[in-house]
Amino acid sequence: MSSNPNTIFNRPESLSDNITHYCPGCTHGVIHRLVAESLDELGLRERAVGVAPVGCSVLIYNYFNCDFMEAAHGRAPALATGFKRTRPDMIVFTYQGDGDLASIGMGEIVHAANRGEKFTTIFVNNAIYGMTGGQMAPTTMPLQKTSTSPAGRDVEKAGFPIRMAELLATLKTPSFIARGAVHTPMHIVQTKKLIKKAFRLQSENKCFSMVEVLSTCPTNWGIDPNKSLQWLTDNMQPYYPLGIYKDPEKTNGEDS
């Protein structure tokens, strides 16, 4: 990193200088950066271990400058549990997509959250399976067309999209559960705060933390990157409200 005192913007130390494989308009790159900035600012990089998912961000370890392990589809929370229990002094995070976390890995994330495992999950929800080519996800919107729901998601047969943040917030075990988005600069700044808080709570050995991030997939949604941002606002945001769903530092309400 540059030590030039005039430098006002740079690549976070927690990111490598590899070029990502993500499609044009994909927001994974933004979310990677928010995670990396949080690790840098909290001084956690040198004891951080990430767990890569299966999905578009399967190669995330190439883009970060911290130790990483690669999980099977959906199992990242189990790897994170095993690692964190054995090395409670380390900072552990999983980075998972919606097919990984809300479908094949539903059991692992619910039980890790319920045990109160002290790691952080970044959950990227773009309402579709990206890497396998645009199939229906558990978070796909009603009537949204995908390669396995060409007539649109039929809620009679596929049910309604799963709201993971709300679902995990029902658990009695204390945790930090929030949902942000990265489709506008304002939302990016807000989401950064959520991610940083999640890592801070972990570094204080407080609780399990998950930040869900609404994301776009122009390639598999079949719309251009700009229209994708609008599509997220119009379709996803009303169904997936942004905000903090559970916070161990809030003393009022049900979680007190």
The site for another protein (CB under 8 A) is made up of 16, 45-49, 51-52, 58, 61, 64-72, 75, 78-87, 90, 107-108, 110-111, 115
**For another protein, which is the closer residue by CB, 63 or 231?**
63
Q: How far is CA 219 from the centre of its chain?
A: 19
**For another protein, which is the closer residue by CB, 41 or 193?**
41
Q: How far is CA 234 from the centre of its chain?
A: 21
Taking a C-beta distance cutoff of 8 angstroms, is the pair 164, 212 a contact? yes
CB of residue 94 vs another protein: minimum separation in angstroms? Answer: 10
CB of residue 84 vs another protein: minimum separation in angstroms? Answer: 8
Taking a C-beta distance cutoff of 8 angstroms, is the pair 194, 38 a contact? no
Given the DSSP bridges, would you call strands 175-181 and 243-246 parallel, antiparallel or unpaired? antiparallel
CB of residue 49 vs another protein: minimum separation in angstroms? Answer: 5
CB of residue 108 vs another protein: minimum separation in angstroms? Answer: 6
A 10 A CB-CB count for 114 gives 14
**For another protein, which is the closer residue by CB, 118 or 183?**
118
- Residue of 164, 97, 151 whose CA lies nearest to 124: 97
CB of residue 163 vs another protein: minimum separation in angstroms? Answer: 21
Q: At what angle do helices 28-42 and 185-203 cross, to 10 degrees?
A: 40
**For another protein, which is the closer residue by CB, 59 or 242?**
59
The whole-angstrom separation of Cα 26 and Cα 33 is: 13
**For another protein, which is the closer residue by CB, 42 or 158?**
42
